[in-house]
């Protein structure tokens, strides 16, 4: 069971790293010209659509990182002779398929993040306001929507990924908060 859980985390590793990237990319002043809000500071019913903290820099950095890391991890997986992908129900993954998975995963995690930011604004929740468990798992939900029709993974995989991601997200957000990368602990 532990190897199965590690396999879930390994597969979703590019999403974890991509999801953590926007505050770091902003702090390092990378892609500064893309630091504009995705919603262009527009409102809907006198509420921000997403909020000024959801920027093109974050969207682009997540897409680049996730799409790039997936084929790297697939290559590393083969180089080290691991069997994480078969453990979660996938066969061998070619580099072309890895790029496609990485891209779909990146679009999914961005969609999940933006969708739940939209929901939070409709509920009058300010950026950084606790919205558990969705703050922690929004990107898994988004990835499910975009990847599942293509990969058809077992629902058990997604269940365990949601459980693991909740705790991993809390742990890493606390670390990011303590390093000054996040304004909220969750």
Q: Looking at residue 142, what is its pLDDT?
A: 97
Comparing CA positions, the residue from 8, 7, 61 lying closest to residue 33 is 61
φ/ψ of 116, rounded to 5, equals: -75, -25
Give 44's strand partners. 47
The CA angle 107-108-114, to the nearest 5 degrees, is: 90
pLDDT in tens, 80-117: 999 999 999 998 999 999 999 999 999 999 999 999 99
> Domain extents for the chain?
2-178
Stretch (H or E) spanning 147: helix 134-151
pLDDT in tens, 111-146: 999 999 999 999 999 888 888 888 889 999 999 999
pTM (2 d.p.):
0.90
pLDDT in tens, 16-71: 999 989 988 998 999 999 999 999 999 999 999 999 999 999 999 999 999 999 99
């Amino acid at each position: 069971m532990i190897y199965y859980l590690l396999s879930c985390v390994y597969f979703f590793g590019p999403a974890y790293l991509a999801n953590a990237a926007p505050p770091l990319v902003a702090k390092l002043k990378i892609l500064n010209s893309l630091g504009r809000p995705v919603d262009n500071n527009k409102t809907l019913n006198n509420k921000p659509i997403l909020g000024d903290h959801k920027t093109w820099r974050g969207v682009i950095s997540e897409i680049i990182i996730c799409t790039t890391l997936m084929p790297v991890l697939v290559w590393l997986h083969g180089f080290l002779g691991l069997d994480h992908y078969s453990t979660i129900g996938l066969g061998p993954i070619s580099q072309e398929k890895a790029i496609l998975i990485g891209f779909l995963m990146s679009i999914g995690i961005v969609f999940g993040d933006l969708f739940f930011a939209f929901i939070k604004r409709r509920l009058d929740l300010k950026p950084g306001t606790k919205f558990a468990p969705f703050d922690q798992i929004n990107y898994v939900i988004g990835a499910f929507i975009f990847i599942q029709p293509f990969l058809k993974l077992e629902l058990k995989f997604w269940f365990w990924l949601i459980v693991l991601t909740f705790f991993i997200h809390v742990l890493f957000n606390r670390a990011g908060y303590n390093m000054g990368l996040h304004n909220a602990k969750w």
